[in-house]
């Protein structure tokens, strides 16, 4: 992965390259940003830059033996660690061997994908993935081995917040005192939930969201038609991963579904709402969160509209729907609906029962609309 394949974020790229040029590459770096941002691509582009045999002042070459192998995630001196299903000790090797090819495919197909996208690809939508104690043992093994080719050895830990405290504690010592030419790159979506013992031992590399324009042109460069690219970019709040998902989800299926849902609440269509919560609960954890996130972004747009500010979206149908929706509810009710939806999302993230959570949300919204 090259820096040039990541849209925008020029300051950050410059900062990373300059650290290398000044011989100031910190041995443990924590790339942190929100889910869907360029956290993982940036860490990978940086790894490529460090390893590239023909780097320029702007980027890795993309074609030398190291670049080619890093692109395919098969470089013997780059060790990838990522969330997986938990496994009994004697099954760990098998789980790892099965997950690695899928993970490689996932990163090549969707480097901006977040944990939800990974669980979909991995086919483990109803499991909680983690970086286990066995993974941390594997890391210790990686560190103790000599680099195969004599250059840098890089351990890339994707979503380190999914290490439990025992696996995190197991790697503290190697984080603090790595062997020479060993570099840890951690790529996190939740800086705040990382243990202080980890954050204090790593240098923070803040990966900001992309601008709407950057995301739109990125989507267009991947063949998404302008209108869809524009709408998806605006809904995504700087998260490329989410923008890609929304764009791929098709023109406006999710948006129309949201409309139907709100109408069911409005009409107190209990049968419809019960059925909807059934369908929702069967869609898999990752999809549930994506759908709720999408609804939340539409509701937020309605709040923005209600408060008299310019709507970020230019899609006519959406502006017209949001306008009507906002006018009908008024800012007070909208804010309440927004709050309830966010609470439901938090419950989901804490593994509440999705059917009950969704039905409760629908009923709460129905009450707000009727009040």
Using CB under 5 A, list all residues that contact Zn ion. Answer: 52, 60-61, 64, 67
Rounded CA separation 52/199 (Å): 28
3-state DSSP: the chain helix, strand, coil percent, rounded to 5?
60, 10, 30
* Strand residue runs (E) in 173-310: 182-188, 203-206
CB of 53 to Zn ion, least distance (A): 5
One-character DSSP codes across 351-364? T--HHHHHHHHHHH
Maximum separation of any 2 CA atoms in the chain, in Å: 69
CB of 178 to Zn ion, least distance (A): 24
**Closest approach of Cβ 18 to Zn ion, in Å?**
19
Could you tell me the smallest distance in angstroms from the CB atom of residue 63 to Zn ion? 6
Measured from the CB atom, the residue of 64 and 274 that comes closer to Zn ion is: 64
64 or 85: whose CB is closer to Zn ion?
A: 64
Closer residue to Zn ion in complex, CB, 3/184:
3
**Contact in structure between 231 and 319 (CB atoms under 8 Å):** no
Place of tokens 């849902």: 261
Find out whether 84 and 129 touch, Cβ atoms under 8 Å: yes
Rounded to the nearest whole angstrom, what is the least distance from the CB of residue 150 to Zn ion in the complex? 16
Q: To the nearest whole angstrom, how small is the minimum distance from the Cβ of residue 48 to Zn ion?
A: 7
Return the bridge partners of 163, or none: 131
How long, in residues, is the chain?
Answer: 371
8 Å CB contact between 59 and 2: yes
Do the beta carbons of residue 83 and residue 118 sit within 8 Å? yes
Helix (H) or strand (E) holding 80: strand 78-81
Of the pair 52, 235, the CB lying nearest Zn ion is at 52
In the complex with Zn ion, the residue whose CB is nearer, 4 or 193, is 4
49/280 with CB nearer Zn ion: 49
Helix (H) or strand (E) holding 81: strand 78-81
d(CA 60, CA 3): 8
Q: Is 370 left (phi over 0), alpha (psi -120 to 50) or beta?
A: alpha
Nearest approach in angstroms of CB 240 to Zn ion is 24
Nearer residue to Zn ion within complex by CB, 75 or 333: 75
Tokens of 124: 């483990």
- Which residue in this structure is represented by tokens 């790593």? 202
Q: Residue 52 or 359: which CB sits closer to Zn ion?
A: 52
CB of 86 to Zn ion, least distance (A): 37
Read off the DSSP letter of residue 53. S
Nearer to Zn ion, 60 or 297 (CB): 60
Q: For the CB of residue 61, give the shortest distance to Zn ion in the complex, in Å.
A: 4
Sign, Cα dihedral of 5, 209, 23, 156: negative
Distances from the Cα of 109 to the Cα of 20, 55, 117, 200, 243, angstroms: 28, 24, 11, 33, 15
> In the bound complex, what is the minimum distance in angstroms from residue 113's beta carbon to Zn ion?
24
DSSP for 173-218? HHHHSPPTTEEEEEEES-GGGS-HHHHTTSEEEE-PPPPHHHHHHH
Tell me whether residue 44 or residue 67 sits nearer to Zn ion (CB atom): 67
């Amino acid at each position: 992965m090259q820096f040039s394949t990541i849209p925008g974020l020029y300051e950050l790229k410059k900062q990373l390259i300059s650290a290398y040029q000044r011989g100031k590459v910190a041995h443990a770096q924590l790339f942190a940003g929100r889910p869907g941002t360029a956290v993982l691509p940036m860490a990978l582009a940086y790894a490529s830059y460090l390893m590239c045999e023909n780097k320029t002042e702007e980027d890795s070459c993309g074609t030398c033996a190291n670049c080619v192998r890093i692109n395919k995630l098969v470089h013997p001196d780059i060790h990838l660690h990522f969330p997986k299903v938990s496994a009994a000790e004697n099954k760990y090797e098998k789980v790892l061997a099965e997950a690695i090819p899928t993970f490689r495919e996932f990163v090549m197909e969707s480097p901006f994908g977040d944990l939800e996208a990974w669980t979909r690809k991995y086919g483990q939508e109803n499991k909680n993935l983690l970086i286990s104690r066995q993974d941390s043992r594997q890391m210790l093994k990686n560190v103790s081995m000599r680099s195969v080719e004599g250059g840098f050895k890089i351990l890339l830990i994707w979503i380190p917040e999914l290490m439990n405290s025992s696996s995190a504690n197991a790697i503290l010592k190697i984080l603090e005192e790595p062997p020479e030419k060993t570099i840890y790159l951690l790529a996190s979506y939740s800086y705040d939930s990382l243990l202080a013992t980890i954050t204090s031992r790593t240098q923070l590399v803040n990966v900001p969201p992309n601008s709407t324009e950057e995301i739109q042109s990125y989507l267009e460069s991947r063949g998404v038609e302008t209108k869809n690219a524009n709408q998806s970019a605006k809904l995504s709040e700087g998260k490329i991963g989410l923008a890609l998902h929304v764009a791929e989800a098709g023109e406006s299926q999710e948006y129309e579904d949201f409309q139907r849902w709100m109408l069911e609440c409005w009409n107190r269509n209990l049968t419809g709402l019960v059925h909807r919560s059934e369908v929702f609960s069967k869609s898999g954890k990752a999809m549930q969160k994506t759908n709720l996130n999408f609804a939340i972004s539409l509701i937020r747009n309605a709040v923005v509209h209600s408060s008299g500010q310019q709507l970020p979206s230019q899609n006519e149908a959406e502006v017209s729907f949001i306008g009507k929706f906002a006018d009908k509810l008024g800012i007070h009710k909208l804010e309440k609906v927004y709050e309830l939806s966010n609470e439901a999302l938090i419950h989901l993230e804490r593994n509440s029962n999705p059917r009950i959570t969704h039905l409760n949300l629908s009923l709460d919204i129905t009450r707000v609309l009727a009040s």
